[in-house]
Structure 1
Amino acid sequence: MFTRYEGTAWESKFLPRLTRKQIGELPKEKALVVLSIGAVEQHGDHMPVMTDALIGEATLTEALEKLDPAEQVWVIPPISYGKSNEHIGIPGTISLSAATLAGIVKDIAASLQASGFRRLLLFNTHGGNMDLLNVISREIRIATGMMVFYLSPSSLDAASDLMAPEELEFGIHGGDYETSIAMHVKPDWVQEQYRVKEMPRMERFDYLTLESKIRFAWKMDDISASGILGDATAATAEKGRIIQERVTDILAKAFAELSRFEIDEFLQVK
């Protein structure tokens, strides 16, 4: 079970735990700073509104536990709120505007650059943030010269053999994937008796999709009566454990790779 701010990761890799002197003396040439960005928004009747932020913090904690202690990878306090206006008006949803979230992330990046850091990873666990963070990443690169990375752990293909094909395509919110992870990392926060299955009726369309070929703008109450998309009834804590084990294995290696990446290597003549 995930416990916030406990364990090796938070004791040895939580940047704000250090003093200004310690941070000033850190070797920053190969240092990677990780900013987790989630959301506080409705996830149906069975899941906490903090689901996305919770998954982000829990995943980072486990990944850092697997990291070689010598790696210069640092975590800063997460941004728990995201751009969640697709859920606005549904109880429990707290959304930042695109401009506000962009401003916060850019200000954090500028502050890190002023302290001498060269690499920033935007670690995202909310689908509604993805397009915006792609834009923000380039804006930060241009404004600060930092190397900026962004990823969503759900994109690491750690569950393709655990989920039904319909779930893999349409289970984008509060379904099997997220519910399984939450049941693993914080089981007391999941009210299993309220789990449901709801899928969008997209079979009549050849090209129109929610998130791939041709997309359309939607609010959650346009496409779901329950507030979820997916099959939460298929979720198990064991699936969640397997997903987290796979994802954090990948992330521990990826973080080390990002800390060594130099963008000017692309211009070197072979």
Structure 2
Amino acid sequence: MFHRYEGPAWEERFLPRLTSKQVKELPKEEALVILPVGAVEQHGPHLPVMTDTLIAEATLTLTLEKLDANAQVWMLPPVSYGKSNEHLGLPGTISLSAATLQGIITDIADSLHLSGFGKMLLFNTHGGNTDLLNILSRDIRIKNGMTVFYLSPGSLGGAEDLISPEELEYGIHGGDYETSVVKAIKPGWVQDEFAVKEIPDMSRYEFLTLEGKIRFAWRMADISASGIAGDATLATPEKGRIIMDRVSDKLAQALKELCKFQVSDVRK
């Protein structure tokens, strides 16, 4: 079970845990600062509106505990609110505009730059943020020269043998994957009696997809009556623990690579 502000990741790798003097004295040549970017939005009748941000913090906590002691990797408090306007009107959803979220992340990046950091990872756990973070990463690079990475933990895989192909394709919100993970992190925050199955019907289309080949603009109300897309009834905490362990293993290895990476090495 996940506990915020407890354990070695929070004691040893939570940047605001340090004093200004300690931050100044950190070795920064390979230092990587991670900014979790999540959301507070409806996740159907069974999951907390904190789901995305909760998953971000729990995943990073587990990952940072797997790093070598000398790794210069630091976590910031999350930007808990995201661009969630596709869920507006559904109770509990709190959304930032694209301009507001862009301003917040840009200001954080500028502040890190002024503190002497040169590398930043935007760690995203909400699909509605993805396109904006892609644009922002390049804008920050151009503005202040920082090396900026961005990723969503789902892109690292880890569930292919646990989740059905249909669910992997269409279970994009509050389905088996997310519900299993939250059950592993905070089981008391999941209301099993309200878990449902609702999968958008894209079977008649060859090219159109929700998040793939050719996408179309949608609101959650366009594709779901329940507020979820997927089958939450299949979720188990066991699957969630396996997914979390696999993703954190891969992410721990990836963070080592990010610390060593220099953009100048790419150009021959």
Q: Which residue of 1 aligns with 2:9?
A: 9
Query: Unmatched 5+ residue regions in structure 1?
Result: none
Superposed, which structure 2 residues align to 1:18-97 within 5 Å? 18-97=18-97
Deviation (angstroms), 1:219: 0.3
The residue number in structure 1 matching 2:244 is: 244
State the Cα distance separating 1:137 from its structure 2 match: 0.3
CA distance in 2, matches of 1:81, 1:114: 24
User: Alignment partner of 1:158: what SS?
Assistant: coil
What's the secondary structure of 1:267's corresponding residue? coil
Q: Which amino acid aligns with 2:222?
A: D
| Distance in structure 2 (CA, Å) of the matches to 1:265 and 1:183 | 42
Match of residue 211 from structure 1: 211
Identity of matched residues, %? 68
C-alpha separation between the residues in 2 aligned to 1:29 and 1:214?
Answer: 40
Kindly state the Cα deviation for residue 267 of structure 1 after the two structures are TM-superposed: 2.1
Give the alignment of 1:144-155 within 5 angstroms.
144-155=144-155
Quote how far apart the aligned CAs of 1:157 are.
1.2
Q: Which amino acid aligns with 1:219?
A: R
Aligned amino acid, residue 265 of structure 2? E
Q: Which amino acid aligns with 1:15?
A: L
Normalising by structure 1, we get a TM-score of: 0.98
More divergent stretch after superposition (188-197 vs 205-214): 205-214
Report the more deviating stretch, 199-208 or 239-248.
Answer: 199-208
SS of alignment partner, residue 248 of structure 1:
helix
Q: Show the counterpart of 1:165.
A: 165
- The TM-score normalised by the length of structure 2 is 0.99
1:20-56 per-position Cα deviation (integer Å, ceiling 9, x unaligned):
1111111000100000000000000000000000000
Give CA-to-partner distance per residue, 1:118-140, whole Å, 9 cap, x none. 00000000000001100000000
Supply the distance in 1 between the matched residues of 2:150 and 2:215 (Cα, whole angstroms).
22
Q: Distance in 1 between matches of 2:33 and 2:254?
A: 13
Structure-1 residue corresponding to 2:261: 261
Give 1:187 shift. 0.1
Give the counterpart letter for 1:13 in structure 2: R
- Separation of aligned partners in 2, 1:94 and 1:256: 34
Q: CA deviation at 1:256?
A: 1.1
Q: By how many angstroms is 1:201 displaced?
A: 1.1
Matching residue's letter, 2:78: P
1:207 Cα offset (Å): 1.2
Rounded to whole Å, the distance in 2 between the matches of 1:204 and 1:22 is 58
Deviation track 1:219-266 (CA, whole Å, cap 9, x = no partner) reads 000110000000000000000000000000011111111011010011
1:188 maps to which residue?
A: 188
Please list every run of 5 or more consecutive structure 2 residues that lacks an aligned counterpart in the other structure: none
Deviation at 1:205, TM superposition (A): 1.1
CA distance in structure 2 between the aligned counterparts of 1:140 and 1:82, rounded to whole angstroms: 18
The 4+ residue runs of structure 1 with deviation greater than 6 A are none
The aligned counterpart of 1:231 is 231
The alignment partner of 1:102 has SS state of helix
